[in-house]
């Protein structure tokens, strides 16, 4: 479970920003909320809305960068530069330091990860665990020539981990198979996002290579394919089922080889008709690839953070996907979803605690706030109509 994430001086966000999933204790018990082992209620689903270029992607990119940095940054060579400056640039004297943080639950414990870096190196990095108050798990700080490092409860070999300036301590510890780092790896690997260190990824766009990779995934995970086929009617695609078949195709050397390819099965009367997924609509292709990533998150209890969630999908399909996260039948381990979306039809089905708005001021700096922070907003209000009327901000001005 993720409690909150945010930072400061990160791309279009000059000042501090935060996306907070937590709710006050008096919030009623509802399907749209989940509760941790200490009784803290959190949103299961959060939608991010705002005008074009307001900063929605940069907001979610904070999660994408943290996931990549924590898990994969040590895979680069020690002397390589692995990221560019992420600081806010619309200033005569840009500040070089970017700060990011993430609070999350893992193994029944509340953790907070903090990171400060510039375009050359990590300046400080720490992980804390909350008992009565936050206590150090590890921390390091650049002193101008090396890192001052302290740790406890991170494992006996923590002191042996190289202090790399271009990689996270956790990622470096993974190379040494540190036990606690492997627990963190399991947690963050269970999350999926289409944003990473350098921006938006196309890995769940309905491209040919992604469709083929998705077919291979469902061929190897027939339980997921069965789940999809059992619920296709809910998505109103006109499909009876999706079939994964091995088809002989010519290889580079001219010989035939079997390829795993997906087909949409259409049933009319007593006859089934198969169409290659490449002949199906873009919406069908987009849903096919998206489910390949969403279903493992639902199974593992991780978090899906998706920029432009609606891409290729009809707006009425978005609620069907969101609803998957609300039921223990489909979401038994409390997975979470946070997404940006231009198809604001979904606002009418979200409560004020679930709506995160993003605006940009006259100086080009983004700001974000949860709708319940706007004075006078009630859950019984028509949020969709008021959002379009500009009452909440986060809409284009013409």
Going by the DSSP 8-state scheme, the letter that residue 185 receives in this structure is H
Going by the DSSP 8-state scheme, the letter that residue 80 receives in this structure is S
Query: Is there a contact between 117 and 8 (Cβ–Cβ < 8 Å)?
Result: no
pLDDT confidence tier of residue 396, bands split at 50, 70 and 90: low
Query: Is there a contact between 75 and 172 (Cβ–Cβ < 8 Å)?
Result: no
In a domain? residue 196: no
Query: Is there a contact between 169 and 163 (Cβ–Cβ < 8 Å)?
Result: yes
Q: Are residues 172 and 310 in the same domain?
A: yes
Rounded CA-CA distance 381/190 in Å is 36
Domain count, the chain: 2
In a domain? residue 201: no
Q: Is the pLDDT of residue 339 over 90?
A: yes
Q: Are residues 348 and 283 in the same domain?
A: no
Q: 135 forms bridges with which residues in the sheet?
A: 129
Q: Are residues 163 and 224 in the same domain?
A: no
Q: Is the pLDDT of residue 302 over 90?
A: yes
In a domain? residue 216: yes
| Mean pLDDT, residues 144-166 | 92
Q: Are residues 34 and 69 in the same domain?
A: yes
The pLDDT score that the predictor gives to residue 278 is: 93
Last residue of a domain, one of 287, 312, 345: 287
Range of the domain at 329: 2-191+302-388
**Residue 286: in which H helix or E strand, if any?**
helix 282-300
In a domain? residue 156: yes
CATH of the domain at 107: 3.40.50
Take residue 305 and report the two structure tokens written for it: 């953070």
Count of beta carbons in the 10 Å neighbourhood of residue 152: 12
Last residue of a domain, one of 287, 313, 330: 287
Which has the minimum average pLDDT: 25-34, 116-125, 302-311, 313-322? Answer: 25-34
Last residue of a domain, one of 245, 262, 287: 287
Take residue 4 and report the two structure tokens written for it: 């909150």
Q: Are residues 308 and 236 in the same domain?
A: no
The listed range with the strongest mean pLDDT (37-41, 264-268, 335-339, 341-345) is 335-339
In a domain? residue 128: yes
Q: Are residues 79 and 157 in the same domain?
A: yes
Mean of the per-residue pLDDT values for the chain?
91
The set of residues, in sequence order, having a beta carbon less than 8 Å from that of 190 and lying 6+ positions away, is: 296, 297, 300, 301, 302, 303
User: Pairing state of beta strands 366-370 and 147-151?
Assistant: unpaired
| Mean pLDDT, residues 360-381 | 91
Take residue 161 and report the two structure tokens written for it: 């981990």
In a domain? residue 181: yes
pTM: 0.92
Query: Is there a contact between 23 and 316 (Cβ–Cβ < 8 Å)?
Result: no
Q: Is the pLDDT of residue 190 over 80?
A: yes
Take residue 6 and report the two structure tokens written for it: 């945010």
Rounded CA-CA distance 287/31 in Å is 24
Q: Are residues 37 and 184 in the same domain?
A: yes
Q: Are residues 96 and 143 in the same domain?
A: yes
Q: Are residues 107 and 249 in the same domain?
A: no
Take residue 124 and report the two structure tokens written for it: 């400080």
In a domain? residue 397: no
Q: Are residues 243 and 149 in the same domain?
A: no
Going by the DSSP 8-state scheme, the letter that residue 348 receives in this structure is G
Q: Are residues 20 and 51 in the same domain?
A: yes
DSSP code per residue over 18-65: EEE-B--TTSPP-TTEEE-TTS-EEESEEEEEE-TTSSHHHHHHHHHH
In a domain? residue 296: no
Rounded CA-CA distance 286/229 in Å is 16
Q: Are residues 56 and 103 in the same domain?
A: yes
Give 80-119 pLDDT, tens digit per residue: 888 888 999 998 888 999 999 999 999 999 999 999 999 9
């Amino acid at each position: 479970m993720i409690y909150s994430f945010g930072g400061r001086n990160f791309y279009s966000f000059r000042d501090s920003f935060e996306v907070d999933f937590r709710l006050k204790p008096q919030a009623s018990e509802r399907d749209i909320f989940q509760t941790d082992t200490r009784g803290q209620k959190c949103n299961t689903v959060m939608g991010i809305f705002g005008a074009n270029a307001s900063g929605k992607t940069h907001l979610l990119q904070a999660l994408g960068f943290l996931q990549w940095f924590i898990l994969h940054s040590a895979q680069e060579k020690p002397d390589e530069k692995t990221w560019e400056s992420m600081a806010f640039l619309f200033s005569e004297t840009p500040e070089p330091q970017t700060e990011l943080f993430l609070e999350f639950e893992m193994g029944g414990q509340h953790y907070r990860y903090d990171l400060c870096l510039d375009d050359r190196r990590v300046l400080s990095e720490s992980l804390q665990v909350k008992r009565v108050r936050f206590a150090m798990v590890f921390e390091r700080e650049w002193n101008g020539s090396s890192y001052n490092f302290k740790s406890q409860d991170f494992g006996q070999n923590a002191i042996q981990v190289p202090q790399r300036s271009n990689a996270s301590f956790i990622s470096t510890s993974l190379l040494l198979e540190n036990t606690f780092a492997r627990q963190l790896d399991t947690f963050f690997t269970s999350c999926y996002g289409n944003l990473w260190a350098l921006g938006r990824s196309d890995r769940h766009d309905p491209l040919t290579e992604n469709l083929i990779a998705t077919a291979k995934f469902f061929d190897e995970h027939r339980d997921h394919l069965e789940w999809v086929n059992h619920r296709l009617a809910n998505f109103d695609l006109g499909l009876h089922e999706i079939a994964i078949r091995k088809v002989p195709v010519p290889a580079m050397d001219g010989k035939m080889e079997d390829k795993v390819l997906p087909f949409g099965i259409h049933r009319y009367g007593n006859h089934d008709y198969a169409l290659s997924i490449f002949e199906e609509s873009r919406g069908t292709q987009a849903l096919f690839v998206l489910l390949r990533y969403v279903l493992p998150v639902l199974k593992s209890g991780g978090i899906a953070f998706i920029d432009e969630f609606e891409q290729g999908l009809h707006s009425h399909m978005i609620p069907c996907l969101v609803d998957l996260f609300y039921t223990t039948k489909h979401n038994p381990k409390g997975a979470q979803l946070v997404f940006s979306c231009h198809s604001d039809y979904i606002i009418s089905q979200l409560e004020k605690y679930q709506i995160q708005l993003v605006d940009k001021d006259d100086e080009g700096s983004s700001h974000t706030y949860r709708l319940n922070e706007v004075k006078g907003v009630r859950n019984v209000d028509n949020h969709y109509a008021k959002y379009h009327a500009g009452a909440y901000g986060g809409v284009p001005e013409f």
